[in-house]
Structure 1
Amino acid sequence: MSPTPQPDAARRAYCLGELAQGTDRFHEPRRDDCPWCGSQRLRTRLRTPDLVEHKPGTFAVDECRDCAHAFQNPRLTAEGLAFYHHDFHEGHPRLDGFAERILAARGSARRHRAAARAMLPFPEPESWLDVGTGHGHFPQAAREVYPYTSFDGLDPTRRVEKAQAAGRIEEAHRGHLTDPEILARLRSRYDVVSMFHHLEHTRDPRAELRAALTVLRPGGHLLIEVPDPDCAFGALLGKWWVSYGQPRHLHLMPLDNLLAELESLGCVIVTTDRREPHTPYDITGALTLALAHVLPAPDAPWRAVPPSGLQRGLRTALMGVTTPLVATATALDHTLAPLLRRTCFSNAYRIIARRSQSAA
């Protein structure tokens, strides 16, 4: 593994300037009720720092004892989301080899093609919108399955424009699906709307679902994949479970809750799947997060004092020494995957729902 690239002066100035204003503004007041069902019977599921980028702060995930919805509490404000997503999404060389391995596991072309094939039982769509598309890797892979489908992408970052320039999508829509201007422009345009590991990042998943139905044509399909909070790895690994994703995951929604919400919006549930969406990276993720936590810290723009040359050299050497451990964990994840995806250790689920004529 190569050493972590050094941050530039502009990024360090931005991060230190944000931190100098205090971190209280990054958090809303803690809420006493569940954002999904309104129950006040809450329990704290875990507290954790940012284990991927190691930005300052501690984050809590609470769970509703009545509906089992898990959510970040207190939730990040708009300023907090901007700060903790800034380097994560803008393509900076901010992550060392450990974290990159975790994030790459879910984004392979093979997995994208498999997700696209979930729609094969239905007529080939004319138009498809991928929400939270990032660099457009899913549409690029899905086009191999649907060569005559027009794929568009939506993302709040400039990545979507780069995806269009690279030819991975036809149209690039920069913003949020719930933006009124975007909704007005895209109303009833698409046969399929996909949301792959998108809803857990949104402030209001219900609003995202309503917006998705708005841009779908009647009879169109909504394809959703999200982490499964019922996965046994969550209880077994605690804060080291990758899918907790703090501070960037705001909601973890049980399957039954999401199904009930879609049905209340007038959707017909076509299929659910807990097997195919499973990503074999739980053991690898826990190990890499733990190793990155105990090794000497890498340089980062939110650290006022960069590490010394000795510290950087020691980190690089130790990363090399631990590489066989990570490789072994990866092999174990993939070996166990055929079994785990059929048990309570499956870490994600997929829903395909059809928008009825009367859907909201």
Structure 2
Amino acid sequence: MTASSLPETDPVAARRPQYQADIAAGLDRFFEPRRDDCPWCGGTRLTTRLRTVDLLQHKPGRFELSQCADCRHIFQNPRLSLAGLEFYYRDCYDGLGEKQMADMFEGNSANLKDRASLLTKHHAAKRWLDVGTGHGHFCRAAAEALPDTEFHGLDMSAGVELAAEHGWITRGFRGNFPEMTAELAGNYDVLSMFHYLEHTLDPKAELAAAAEVLAPGGYLVIELPDPECKWGRVLGKYWMPWLQPQHLNLMPIANLRAAAEEVGFTVVDEQRGEPHSAMDMAAAAMLWSNRFIGGDDVPWQPKPPSGLRKLLRKASMVLTVPMMVLAFIGDQLIAPWGRKHGWSNAYRVLLTRN
């Protein structure tokens, strides 16, 4: 039975047997063998950058990020297997996690609109394909500012179909982008990958696919978490952009530029400070408090929390409100200075196909 066909009278209870069976079968199958070399450059001088747990959903498992001393690429090691990707993505962006993610995007509409700004300084888009569109929130926001642009979306999840049903995209494609290049080639003058490449198994293959789809003169705009951001050192595992276990690869901007140029792109423009979302301390406070408060009813726990545990969770959440408010204020105060001094948590690059 798939998650979409489960009875929704008690969606947590309905999902619990499958999750408990998955966990009982062992977590080792959710990981590939550990790598001794960098997937980006092949270098063998690897160090451990981070060890953590799932701080967002609190599913079981431990995760590690390795960093290459030669090219500075950061990658999950050992990486999730296909079974692991299915397990840890389940009910994160869809299903039980759909409303939480939708609320997050709805509250970030200004940033979503701003993502198009790097392109619009150079080109008036006619037909735009957003790769990794999720539920189409970017396309919905950008269409308000670009009414003459036709937006299409592509994603692996059912969210792209919902986006089409809502009318947020004119057309939706569901599948693996590199496997769909023949179907998509020649149809777009703009492609975007916003917070997408870090989720992919092979970012270089995704860039090569974009080069196949775009005709010469077409544009590709990319936004990624910036692993060189100083917040990553200060906040450690509570820095939200590490986002384990979903983020498989984190590329310094120089690596992205070089890889794109290798497959036929030229860098037109880039932004290091403008994409920054002033949320690092607030997000860290949220992750920390949720980890230690616990008590939420989730199907990967063997049984629901007791009434007392639920009450304690509510009381604890109230007590953390002042901390969250202070963290939010701190983010807003630091952001203008931080954008100029290496504290931006994201970057954007605009490329054109040669």
* TM-score strictly above 0.5: yes
Deviation at 1:208, TM superposition (A): 0.6
21 and 101 in structure 1: CA distance in 2 versus 1, 3 angstrom threshold: closer
Could you tell me which runs of 5 or more consecutive residues in structure 2 were left unpaired when the two chains were aligned: 1-8
Specify the alignment match of 1:62 in structure 2: 66
| Bigger mean CA deviation after superposition, 102-111 or 50-59 | 102-111
- CA deviations over 1:273-332 (Å, ceiling 9, x no partner): 101111111101111111111113311100112210100111011112212221221121
Within the alignment, does 1:38 sit opposite 2:48 as a pair? no
CA shift at 1:107, angstroms? 6.3
- Pair 1:264-2:262 in alignment: yes
Asked if the contact 1:26–1:80 (Cα under 8 Å) also holds between the matched residues in 2, the reply is yes
**Correspondence for 2:137:** 137
Query: How many pairs are equivalent?
Result: 346
SS at structure 1 position matched to 2:277? coil
Change (3 A) 1:310 1:223: same
Q: Which residue of 2 aligns with 1:118?
A: 118
In structure 1, how many angstroms separate the alpha carbons of the residues matched to 2:58 and 2:314?
17
Question: Relative to structure 1, is the Cα distance of residues 6 and 64 closer, same or farther in structure 2, using a 3 angstrom cutoff?
Answer: farther
Kept in 2: contact 1:134–1:155 (CA 8 A): yes
Q: SS of the counterpart of 1:87?
A: coil
TM normalised by structure 1 equals: 0.92
> Where do 1:207-286 residues align within 5 Å?
207-286=205-284
Deviations 1:184-234 (A, max 9, x none): 110121111011100000000000111112221220100000011111111
Q: 1:127 touches 1:192 (CA, 8 Å); kept in 2?
A: yes
In terms of mean alpha carbon deviation, does 29-38 or 294-303 score higher? 294-303
Partner of 1:320: 318
Aligned partners of 1:192 and 1:216 also within 8 Å: yes
* Percent of pairs with identical residues: 47
In structure 2, the CA distance between the partners of 1:344 and 1:103, relative to structure 1 (3 Å rule), is farther
Q: In structure 2, what is the equivalent of residue 311 of structure 1? A: 309
Partner of 1:178: 178
Query: The residue matched to 1:162 in structure 2 has which SS?
Result: helix
Equivalences for 1:39-118 in 2 at 5 Å?
Answer: 39-93=43-97, 100=100, 104=104, 108-118=108-118
- Provide the TM-score with structure 2 as the length reference: 0.94
8 Å Cα contact 1:102/1:281 also seen in 2:
no
* Residue 58 of structure 1: how far off its partner (Å): 0.3
Flag the 1:8–1:250 CA change in 2: closer, same or farther, 3 A.
same
Contact 2:105 2:137 (8 Å CA) reproduced = no
CA drift at 1:125: 1.5
CA deviation digits over 1:5-51, x for unaligned, max 9? 97532211221121121111100000000000101100001110100
Counterpart for residue 29 of structure 1: 33
User: Could you tell me which residue of structure 2 aligns to residue 150 of structure 1?
Assistant: 150
Q: 2:288 aligns with which of 290, 308, 323?
A: 290
Q: 1:107 to 1:167 in 2, by over 3 A?
A: same
For 1:101 and 1:73, how far apart are their aligned partners in 2? 26
Q: For 1:79, give the aligned amino acid.
A: A
Distance 1:6 1:320, change over 3 A: farther
Q: 1:152 to 1:352 in 2, by over 3 A?
A: same
3-state SS of 1:48 partner? strand
The root-mean-square deviation of aligned C-alpha atoms, in Å, is 1.8
Q: CA deviation at 1:343?
A: 1.1
Distance 1:234 1:258 in 2: 19
What is the distance in 2 between the residues matched to 1:133 and 1:341? 26
Question: Using the alignment, how far apart are the partners of 1:231 and 1:161 within structure 2?
Answer: 34
Distance of 1:279 and 1:290 partners within structure 2: 19
Q: Distance in 2 between matches of 1:234 and 1:23?
A: 27
Q: For 1:166 and 1:104, locate their aligned partners in 2 and report how far apart those are by CA, in whole Å.
A: 18
Question: Counterparts of 1:170 and 1:280 in 2: how far apart (Å)?
Answer: 32
Distance apart, 1:91 and its partner CA: 3.6
Shift of 1:237: 1.1
Alpha-carbon separation, structure 1, partners of 2:37 and 2:297: 39
Q: Structure 1's 103 and 24: CA in aligned 2 closer, same or farther, altered over 3 A?
A: farther
